[in-house]
Amino acid sequence: MRGWGLVAVAGCALAAGVAVAAGVHDPIYWKQAVKVIADAQARGDEQTAYNEAIILALAGETTGYDVLVQAYSEGKGVPVDASMAARIACIGAERGQRTSQMRLAKFYVEGKGVPADAGKAVLWAEIAGRNLAEALREQMGVNNVRQLAESGLPMAQVDRIRAVAKAWTPAPTTPADRYGRYCP
């Protein structure tokens, strides 16, 4: 797999604290990389989309996390690996990426890549749904996931989880915590 070579090179560069691509902190680079990913996916070139997503994710760009979660969940450019998808979703979720937060909540509801955990599912669904209008909460599936997960939890526990979710803030992206603080 060509993608693993890029992972090793980019991982070594990140561990050394250097940028993995020229101009990686330039906003124009982000827009170009996201466009390259979208174009590659549109033409079915999942390997290119995966490679670009690795660079974005290693540099802390949340769009990269989402593309990687999708790749590992659906086997696009890499073999299906639910536990890797859950780990990457967790890192993206901790960085504040709503799509990753919802994916992680669904993984906890379904027990996909992580042990089923209704409390963590409620937590991540609540975090993802913060500051969203009701229509957007419905569109993202926040209410549905929350209802599924809450059905087996005592109300006092749900209230404690909601308080934690209300106080939660995204974690900054640093090489030292690149594996996430609370990830499986």
| Cβ atoms < 10 Å from Cβ of 106 | 20
Q: pLDDT tens across 2-14, in order?
A: 444 444 434 444 4
Q: Which pLDDT does position 22 carry in this prediction?
A: 43
The residue whose two tokens read 């466009």 is: 35
Per domain, the residue ranges of the chain are 1-80, 99-167
How many CB atoms within 10 Å of residue 50? Answer: 26
Does residue 80 register a pLDDT over 90?
yes
Centroid of chain to Cα 133: 22
Could you tell me the CA-to-CA distances from 54 to 10, 11, 123, 136, 154 in Å, in that order? 8, 9, 27, 29, 40
Q: 86-99, pLDDT tens digit by residue?
A: 999 988 888 888 88
CB 132 within 8 A of CB 125: no
Count of C-beta atoms within a 10 Å radius of residue 35: 11
Q: What is the pTM of this model?
A: 0.75
| Residues ≥6 apart with Cβ < 8 Å to 1 | 78
Q: Give the other-Cβ count within 10 Å of 84's Cβ.
A: 17
Place of tokens 């500051």: 131
Convert the pLDDT of each residue in 112-143 to its tens digit.
999 999 999 999 999 998 887 777 777 777 88
Which pLDDT score, from 0 to 100, does residue 41 have?
87
